[in-house]
Amino acid sequence: MSGLPFDILVITDQAACAQVGKSVTEAVKQILRSPLSDRIAILVRDKAAPQAHVAGVIKMLQPMTQAVGAKLLVHTYAHLALEFSLDGVHVAAHVPLEEVRSQILPNMLLGASRHAQDPLNAADIGLADYATISPIYRPTSKPNDTREPLGISGLQPCVQRSVRPLVALGGMRPGRVAEVMITGAAGAGCGAIAISGAILQSDNPERLIEQLCREIDEARSIAST
């Protein structure tokens, strides 16, 4: 594993699940059947849903993540991380990290969403444990996303100037992971990858996780030589 307590950050997306006739709970249950589940963190994100709905999803997922050693985080709602003793909270780019850090326990993870133009210095993300950086490639779960993907050439300078491990997000799939992770060997590093639609909609998420973890391990082996 990296310096982070996960290698794959799975971001829930109710709309992506609905497109293939699954609920978020059903999709996550399939994912957590993987024998590599202890390398996974589930980030419960549903910006359009009421807090009560998000809390209900957490209640259903927490027994499953605890049973297999996966991490469970929530997007936006720091008080829900406290209420359910979650592993952490992740916040949007505009949210002041000082406020969130003061609301959660010291041992809870704090993640932040960042993009190519963000500074990624101590003043920006110094209070976070990691930052997602996106989009690396065109996101599977956001086919109408008009942002220009960073690609490897755009990821490299982000990694070099970041004071915290970055989690690569956007279009992550087998065949792309190795180059992302090798690029991340510089600076604070690309500590993990994040994935949403591709794994939530997969017919065989266990196999997909195995492929992704194999590529992560191979890239780290190359980077360490």
CA dist 28 and 143 (Å) reads 22
Q: According to the model, what pLDDT value does residue 142 have?
A: 64
More confident residue, 52 or 183: 52
HSE (side-chain half, CA atoms, 13 Å) at 97? 20
CA dist 35 → 15, 30, 62, 87, 201 (Å): 27, 11, 17, 20, 19
pTM for the full predicted model: 0.94
How confident is residue 189, by pLDDT bands cut at 50, 70 and 90?
low
Three-class DSSP category at 8: strand
Using alpha carbons only, how large is the chain's radius of gyration in Å? 16
How confident is residue 183, by pLDDT bands cut at 50, 70 and 90?
confident
CA dist 71 and 153 (Å) reads 31
**Looking only at Cα atoms, what is the longest distance across the chain?**
49
Q: According to the model, what pLDDT value does residue 158 have?
A: 92
CA dist 145 and 104 (Å) reads 32
How confident is residue 138, by pLDDT bands cut at 50, 70 and 90?
confident
Helix runs in the chain, H state only: 14-19, 24-31, 51-68, 78-83, 97-103, 122-125, 151-161, 177-183, 197-200, 205-224
111 closest CA partner among 91, 140, 85: 91
CA dist 170 and 84 (Å) reads 29
Mean pLDDT of 59-83: 98
CATH of domain 8-224: 3.20.20.70
CA 28 to chain centre: 14
Q: According to the model, what pLDDT value does residue 3 have?
A: 79
The single-letter code of the amino acid at 54 is V
Q: Please, what is the average pLDDT of the chain?
A: 92
Please list the residues that pair with 133 across neighbouring strands.
114, 168
Contact 104, 81 (CB under 8 A): yes
Residue 187 has pLDDT above 50, yes or no: no
89 closest CA partner among 80, 6, 56, 114: 80
Q: Which residue has 């499953």 as its token pair?
A: 64
Q: According to the model, what pLDDT value does residue 123 have?
A: 97
